[in-house]
């Protein structure tokens, strides 16, 4: 799906937990998330912490969209 | 009696050699060159009614014209199957056979069959789209190659079971299906035998050859985010409660788009996930964990991005076939393009 | 560890006044058996129905299959699950071969449930069509999941295990018709000629994707989601240490019956001392988060390497995101110098054109493939239905649907069906029974 959207010339970043799968299916810009059922906010942590993580990783995704890359790239996250 | 039509180049169509390779397409009633052998091999099931002849260079340099002319010849003709070649190792001829077979299949929806040597570049170009039989290197293999095409053509016309690429002799088309081994050999025996062979340096054949990955060109970076419209798409099955588009929980063939222009947070009771592949509790309690709308709204408010696109796009990733995913991806891409979306954040689960 | 299976070959099953086994016939006192089922007050309705090979019968929604057994000398056949914990894999267990307890929903099915045809074209899709099946058809008061697609099926599955144990008692004091022996010396205490052979481990990746308890495969009652890979003796695993879960499209699932009879383990035992030195089993899992997948793969490779394994067979219970675990595990093993063969099924789509596994790596160069989960299957009506046919269409079985714009509903008015292989009960038999493979067209 990501591939088809990128093929149309639209810049796309894939946020996924399973980076090996995202790579295999051909995503070019990737940002890791924390799990499959809750990619961007662990319900076992306080709401503020979930928000912090989500805000940070969406920020990295925006950074990925503005970064020129030469090959499939996984962008590093801090939170 | 079923009817067949055969495509040949100028050489096998007995018009001439390289000097008249830009010979324009022609259709003749009856049999020319290899058509005689094909007709003989099809005997009983089908007859070859026409032969089409076209110069390799003509097809190469005026492809559209050549194909349109030939499709015009075929318009109104009754035929049940279409053959081209065999093209052996001749590259231009192979490419011509592939191109014309593809066009005929698309327009008339009849089975198409051709034959090429494994070193013919036409094989790589067209093997996924049609039956190309593995043929000899030169015209010395004519009889054998025609026989193989005819034998398979008869099977199609008779509605017989078509076996795997290896068993039938055509190049694999990238479609993998399950079969029962005959005689039956249990997977436990296959695995242990394969391991013993691997450990002792003997040959073994994997049952799942790893395909080469096929990447798309990298889209350019967004120059100025502050002017960009950004859309969300997800395979995590986030939908408004009630699943108005009835997207399937697995093996999805549908996608939905949902208006979020007035929404800044995907709250419980309004949004949920219908994805059957994971524990839905977290996403049902707060769908922002899959479609992080609240976070992106914050960036929008800060002025870091231009705006969030009016809709987000959603389907379910589990068990969804690549073909379906590609189709849905194309449909969504078309929407995004016409809406002037600059960039997409895709979340998957 | 030394385990003996005392086998009794069941050729016929009937109801009668006394539960007993005689000359290949298992007779069941229905009322007594149902009383065991009803020990759990959550069971609201229950019946037993016999389905035999060749019957014109369709069974759906099937939730579990169990081989009836009896542990000689006392103790449960599923330690830590039905009763208190004890070591499995040592001593003697009596087995009723050729038959199984099938747990069938009287009405309600779910994502993880499957279908069995006892004859005709559909029979070849499941192993269980060739067995004498004692179908426990029951309903429960587990209202919280009645309409949920994902079901724990706790009351029904546990009732099935109790029933299997009850039936096993019929052969408690009888002389087995055949004895199978399974014995491995401790890894470092084996004869030099055995040690000289290539050493092999068998890696089982059990289904453990759900974070909430009640859905995953259990090892001695422990949720496999909460374990890290560990070294186990094959005898334990064939003798009730693991039970099937209630999650995963059904054709990919391993029933408890499959685990009790693991054909790959048996073949490795046969080769032990002849062509290989069978070290044992590394039990692993299939959790969802990437870090958990990487951790498990690392643990497996380390254990294999430390044990001195030269080769490994890795079997995956599932498809989709578990393919990432499967490939990661093979890659780690190969990187550690352990030559590895993978056993799995594929999801190439109805058209066969999709990528076979969602993650791939060229180090995975030796794979045995057991089928395509999304192969479309169309089957004629059957005279008798055990359970409820509508469950296939209504309840979100992984290979069924209520209405497809092109194919229509999975269950048609005349009782014929159209479904994906996904809903065939434990159909892909990745533990080793599968005589299916995948070929390219």
Query: Residue C349 and residue B206: Cβ atoms within 8 Å?
Result: no
B16 belongs to a structural domain:
yes
Measured from the Cβ of residue B7, the count of other Cβ atoms closer than 10 Å reads 30
Q: Where are the alpha helices (DSSP H) in C110-242?
A: 143-146, 154-168, 192-195, 234-238
Whether B69 and B104 have beta carbons less than 8 Å apart is answered as: no
A chain contacts of residue C209, beta-carbon cutoff 8 Å: 36
User: Residue B96 — φ and ψ, nearest 5°?
Assistant: -65, -45
A79 belongs to a structural domain:
no
pLDDT of residue B276: 84
Of C321, C365, C362, nearest to C342 (Cα)?
C365
Residues C224-240 have pLDDT tens digits of: 999 999 999 999 999 99
* pLDDT of C427 above 80: yes
Whether C97 and C13 have beta carbons less than 8 Å apart is answered as: no
Residues B61-117 have pLDDT tens digits of: 999 999 999 999 999 999 999 999 999 999 999 999 999 999 999 999 999 999 999
Kindly state whether A59 is in contact with chain B, defined as any CB-CB distance less than 8 angstroms: yes
By three-state DSSP, how is residue B123 classified?
helix
Q: Are residues B136 and B26 in the same domain?
A: yes
Kindly state whether B19 is in contact with chain C, defined as any CB-CB distance less than 8 angstroms: no
Which chain C residue has the Cα nearest residue A32? C290
Query: Residue B280 and residue A37: Cβ atoms within 8 Å?
Result: yes
Q: Is C137 exposed, middle or buried (0-12, 13-18, 19+ CB in 10 A)?
A: buried
Q: Are residues B158 and B243 in the same domain?
A: no
User: Per-residue DSSP letters for A20-44?
Assistant: HHHHHTT-SEEEE-S-SS-TT--TT
Q: C277-286 and C199-207 as β-strands: parallel, antiparallel, unpaired? A: parallel
Q: How confident is the model at residue B18 (pLDDT cuts 50, 70, 90)?
A: confident
A17/chain B closest Cα distance in angstroms: 7
As given in the structure block, the two tokens for residue A12 are 């796309």
A33/chain B closest Cα distance in angstroms: 9
Whether C381 and C414 have beta carbons less than 8 Å apart is answered as: yes
Q: How confident is the model at residue B321 (pLDDT cuts 50, 70, 90)?
A: confident
Q: B residues 18-47 near A, CB within 8 Å?
A: none
Cα B282–chain centre separation:
37
B chain contacts of residue C111, beta-carbon cutoff 8 Å: 249-250, 276
Kindly state whether B223 is in contact with chain C, defined as any CB-CB distance less than 8 angstroms: no
Of C324, C323, C284, C321, nearest to C301 (Cα)?
C284
* pLDDT of B320 above 80: no
pLDDT of residue B227: 96
Share of chain C above pLDDT 70, in %: 100
Domain containing A29 equals 2-74
Cα dist from B6 to B23, B25, B187, C11, C59, whole Å: 17, 13, 44, 60, 51
| Best residue of B172, B195, B202 to probe chain C, by most C CBs closer than 10 Å | B195
As given in the structure block, the two tokens for residue C86 are 């004890």
A50 belongs to a structural domain:
yes
Whether C299 and C190 have beta carbons less than 8 Å apart is answered as: no
Q: Is B205 exposed, middle or buried (0-12, 13-18, 19+ CB in 10 A)?
A: exposed
By three-state DSSP, how is residue B269 classified?
coil
pLDDT of residue C153: 97
Return d(Cα C276, Cα C272) in angstroms, integer.
5
Q: How confident is the model at residue C184 (pLDDT cuts 50, 70, 90)?
A: very high
Map out the domains of chain C as residue ranges.
2-423
* pLDDT of B349 above 90: no
C chain contacts of residue B211, beta-carbon cutoff 8 Å: 355-356, 360
By three-state DSSP, how is residue C1 classified?
coil
pLDDT of residue C309: 98
Q: Which residue from B172, B188, B190 is facing C440, i.e. has the nearest CB?
A: B172
Domain containing B318 equals 225-347
Measured from the Cβ of residue C175, the count of other Cβ atoms closer than 10 Å reads 9
With a CB cutoff of 8 Å and minimum separation 6, the contacts of B72 are none
Return d(Cα B71, Cα B139) in angstroms, integer.
27
Q: C417-420 and C376-379 as β-strands: parallel, antiparallel, unpaired? A: antiparallel
Question: What secondary structure letter does DSSP report for B286?
Answer: B
Cα C189–chain centre separation:
32
pLDDT of residue B53: 97
Kindly state whether B299 is in contact with chain A, defined as any CB-CB distance less than 8 angstroms: yes
Q: A residues 34-53 near C, CB within 8 Å?
A: 34-37
Tell me the average pLDDT of chain C. 97
Q: How confident is the model at residue C178 (pLDDT cuts 50, 70, 90)?
A: very high
Please report the sign of the dihedral spanned by the C-alpha atoms of residue C426, residue C360, residue B322, residue A30: positive
Kindly state whether A19 is in contact with chain C, defined as any CB-CB distance less than 8 angstroms: yes
Q: Nearest-5° angle of CA C185, CA C190, CA C192?
A: 160
Q: How confident is the model at residue B249 (pLDDT cuts 50, 70, 90)?
A: confident
B chain contacts of residue A18, beta-carbon cutoff 8 Å: 348
As given in the structure block, the two tokens for residue B266 are 């995907």
Return d(Cα C425, Cα C422) in angstroms, integer.
8
Mean pLDDT of B155-176: 96
* pLDDT of C361 above 80: yes
- Report ipTM for this prediction: 0.98
Q: pLDDT tens string for chain A (79 positions)?
A: 899 999 999 999 999 998 988 988 889 999 999 988 999 999 999 999 999 999 999 999 999 999 999 999 999 999 8
Tell me the average pLDDT of chain B. 95
Of B178, B321, B329, B177, nearest to B248 (Cα)?
B321
Beta-ladder partners of B256: B314
Give the containing element (helix H, strand E) for B177. Answer: strand B176-180
Mean pLDDT of B26-43: 96
E strands along C32-149, which residues? 43-51, 57-66, 69-71, 91-97, 99-105, 114-117, 132-140
Give the containing element (helix H, strand E) for C176. Answer: none
Q: Is-cis flag, bond preceding B86, omega within 30?
A: yes
Q: C384-387 and C417-420 as β-strands: parallel, antiparallel, unpaired? A: unpaired
Instruction: Find where tokens 């426990």 sit.
Output: C136
Query: Residue C373 and residue B162: Cβ atoms within 8 Å?
Result: no
Neighbors of chain C by Cβ distance (3+ pairs < 8 Å): A, B
Return d(Cα C297, Cα C3) in angstroms, integer.
30
Q: Is-cis flag, bond preceding C427, omega within 30?
A: no
Kindly state whether C323 is in contact with chain A, defined as any CB-CB distance less than 8 angstroms: yes
Query: Residue C359 and residue A18: Cβ atoms within 8 Å?
Result: yes
Whether B145 and B118 have beta carbons less than 8 Å apart is answered as: no
Return d(Cα B53, Cα B69) in angstroms, integer.
11
Return d(Cα A72, Cα A29) in angstroms, integer.
6
Choose one of B168, B184, B214: the last residue of a domain: B168
* pLDDT of B212 above 80: no
Kindly state whether B215 is in contact with chain C, defined as any CB-CB distance less than 8 angstroms: no
A chain contacts of residue C358, beta-carbon cutoff 8 Å: 18, 21, 24-25
Kindly state whether B223 is in contact with chain A, defined as any CB-CB distance less than 8 angstroms: yes
Return d(Cα C401, Cα C423) in angstroms, integer.
10
As given in the structure block, the two tokens for residue C175 are 């002389």
pLDDT of residue B38: 98
B183 belongs to a structural domain:
no
pLDDT of residue B219: 96
Q: How confident is the model at residue B170 (pLDDT cuts 50, 70, 90)?
A: very high
As given in the structure block, the two tokens for residue C426 are 């434990």
Cα dist from B333 to B99, B323, B330, whole Å: 28, 15, 5
Query: Residue B325 and residue A1: Cβ atoms within 8 Å?
Result: yes
pLDDT of residue B323: 77
Give the containing element (helix H, strand E) for C7. Answer: strand C2-9
Instruction: Find where tokens 């051709």 sit.
Output: B114
Kindly state whether A66 is in contact with chain C, defined as any CB-CB distance less than 8 angstroms: no
Q: Looking at the 3D structure of chain B, how many domains does it have?
A: 2
SS3 content of chain C, % helix, strand, coil (to 5): 25, 35, 40
For A24, how many CA atoms within 13 A lie in the half-sphere containing its CB? 22
* pLDDT of B298 above 90: yes
Q: How confident is the model at residue B250 (pLDDT cuts 50, 70, 90)?
A: confident
pLDDT of residue C110: 95
Measured from the Cβ of residue B206, the count of other Cβ atoms closer than 10 Å reads 16
Whether B234 and B347 have beta carbons less than 8 Å apart is answered as: yes
Q: Looking at the 3D structure of chain A, how many domains does it have?
A: 1
Residues C117-172 have pLDDT tens digits of: 999 999 999 999 999 999 999 999 999 999 888 999 999 999 999 999 999 999 99
Q: Which residue from C209, C211, C358 is facing A21, i.e. has the nearest CB?
A: C358
User: Residue B331 — φ and ψ, nearest 5°?
Assistant: -65, -45
Return d(Cα C323, Cα C358) in angstroms, integer.
6
B chain contacts of residue A12, beta-carbon cutoff 8 Å: 219, 343-346
* pLDDT of B291 above 80: yes
Query: Residue C358 and residue A32: Cβ atoms within 8 Å?
Result: no
Please report the sign of the dihedral spanned by the C-alpha atoms of residue C86, residue C91, residue C94, residue C99: positive
A chain contacts of residue B286, beta-carbon cutoff 8 Å: 41, 43, 50
A chain contacts of residue B337, beta-carbon cutoff 8 Å: 8-10
* pLDDT of B211 above 90: no
With a CB cutoff of 8 Å and minimum separation 6, the contacts of B87 are B9, B93, B94, B96, B97, B114, B115, B116, B117, B120, B122, B135
> What's the full length of chain A, in residues?
79
């Amino acid at each position: 799906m990501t591939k088809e959207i990128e093929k149309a010339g639209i810049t796309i970043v894939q946020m996924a937990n399973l980076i090996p799968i995202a790579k295999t299916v051909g995503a070019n810009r990737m940002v890791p998330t924390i799990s499959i059922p809750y990619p961007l906010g662990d319900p076992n942590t306080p709401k503020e912490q979930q928000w912090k993580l989500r805000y940070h990783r969406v920020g990295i995704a925006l950074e990925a969209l503005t970064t020129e890359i030469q090959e499939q790239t996984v962008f590093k996250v801090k939170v | 009696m079923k009817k067949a039509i055969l495509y040949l180049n100028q050489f096998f169509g007995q018009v001439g050699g390289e000097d008249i390779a830009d010979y324009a397409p022609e259709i003749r009633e009856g049999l020319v060159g290899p058509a005689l052998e094909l007709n003989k091999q099809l005997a009983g099931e089908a007859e070859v009614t026409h032969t089409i002849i076209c110069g390799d260079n003509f097809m190469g340099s005026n492809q559209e014209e050549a194909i349109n002319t030939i499709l015009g010849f075929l318009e109104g003709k009754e035929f049940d199957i279409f053959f081209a070649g065999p093209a052996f190792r001749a590259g231009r001829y192979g490419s011509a056979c592939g191109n014309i077979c593809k066009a005929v299949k698309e327009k008339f929806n009849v089975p198409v069959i051709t034959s090429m040597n494994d070193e013919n570049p036409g094989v790589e170009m067209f093997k996924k789209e049609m039956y190309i039989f593995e043929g000899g290197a030169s015209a010395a293999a004519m009889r054998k190659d025609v026989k193989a095409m005819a034998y398979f053509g008869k099977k199609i016309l008779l509605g017989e079971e078509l076996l795997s690429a290896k068993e039938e002799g055509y190049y694999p088309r990238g479609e993998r299906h399950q079969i029962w081994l005959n005689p039956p050999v249990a997977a436990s025996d296959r695995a242990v035998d394969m391991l013993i062979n691997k450990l002792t340096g003997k040959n073994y054949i994997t049952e799942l050859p790893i395909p080469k990955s096929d990447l798309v060109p990298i889209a350019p970076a967004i120059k100025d985010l502050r002017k960009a419209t950004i859309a969300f798409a997800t395979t995590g099955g986030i939908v408004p409660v009630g699943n108005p588009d009835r997207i399937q929980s697995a093996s999805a063939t549908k996608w939905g788009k949902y208006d979020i222009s007035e929404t800044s947070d995907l709250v419980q009771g309004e949004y949920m996930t219908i994805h059957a592949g994971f524990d839905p509790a977290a996403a049902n309690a707060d769908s922002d964990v899959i479609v992080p709308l609240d976070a992106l709204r914050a960036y929008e408010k800060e002025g870091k991005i231009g705006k969030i696109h009016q809709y987000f796009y959603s389907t379910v990733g589990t068990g969804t076939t690549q073909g379906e995913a590609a189709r849905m991806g194309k449909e969504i891409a078309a929407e995004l393009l016409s809406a002037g979306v600059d960039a997409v954040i895709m979340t998957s689960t | 560890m030394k385990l003996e299976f005392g086998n009794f070959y069941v050729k016929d099953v009937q109801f009668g006044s006394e539960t007993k086994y005689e000359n290949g016939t298992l007779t069941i006192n229905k009322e007594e058996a149902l009383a065991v089922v009803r020990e759990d007050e959550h069971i609201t309705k229950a019946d037993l129905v016999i389905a035999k090979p060749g019957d014109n019968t369709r069974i759906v929604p099937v939730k579990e299959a169990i081989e009836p057994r009896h542990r000689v000398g006392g103790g449960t056949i599923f330690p830590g699950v039905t009763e208190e914990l004890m070591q499995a894999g040592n001593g003697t267990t009596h087995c009723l071969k050729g038959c199984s307890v099938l747990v069938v929903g009287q009405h309600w099915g779910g994502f993880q449930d499957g279908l069995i045809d006892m004859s005709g074209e559909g029979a070849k899709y499941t192993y269980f069509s060739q067995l004498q099946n004692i179908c426990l058809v029951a309903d429960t008061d587990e209202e919280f999941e009645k309409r949920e697609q994902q079901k724990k099926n706790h009351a029904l599955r546990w009732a099935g295990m109790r029933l299997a144990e009850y039936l096993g008692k019929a052969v408690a004091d009888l002389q087995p018709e055949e004895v199978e022996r399974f014995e491995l010396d401790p890894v470092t205490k084996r004869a030099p000629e055995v040690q000289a052979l290539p050493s092999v481990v068998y890696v089982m990746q059990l289904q453990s994707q759900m974070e909430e308890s009640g859905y995953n495969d259990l090892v001695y009652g422990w949720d496999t989601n909460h374990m890290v890979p560990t070294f186990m003796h094959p005898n334990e695993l064939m003798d009730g240490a693991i039970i099937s879960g209630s999650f995963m499209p059904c054709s990919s699932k391993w029933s408890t019956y499959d685990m009790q009879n693991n054909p790959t383990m048996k073949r490795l035992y046969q080769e032990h001392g002849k062509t290989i030195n069978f070290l044992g089993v590394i039990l692993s899992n299939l959790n969802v988060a990437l870090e958990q997948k990487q951790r498990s793969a690392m643990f497996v490779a380390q254990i294999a390497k430390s044990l001195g394994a030269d080769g490994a067979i890795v079997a995956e219970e599932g498809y989709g995101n578990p393919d990432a675990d499967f490939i990661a595990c093979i890659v780690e093993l190969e990187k550690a110098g352990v030559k590895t063969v993978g056993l799995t099924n594929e999801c190439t789509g109805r058209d066969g054109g999709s990528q076979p596994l969602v993650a791939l790596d060229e180090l995975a160069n030796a794979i045995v493939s057991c089928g395509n989960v999304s192969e479309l299957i169309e089957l004629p009506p059957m005279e008798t239905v055990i359970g409820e046919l509508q469950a296939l269409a209504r309840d979100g079985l992984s290979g069924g649907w209520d209405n497809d714009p092109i194919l229509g509903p999975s269950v048609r008015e005349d009782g014929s069906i159209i479904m994906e292989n996904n809903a065939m009960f434990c159909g892909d038999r990745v533990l080793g029974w599968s005589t299916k493979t995948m070929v390219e067209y």
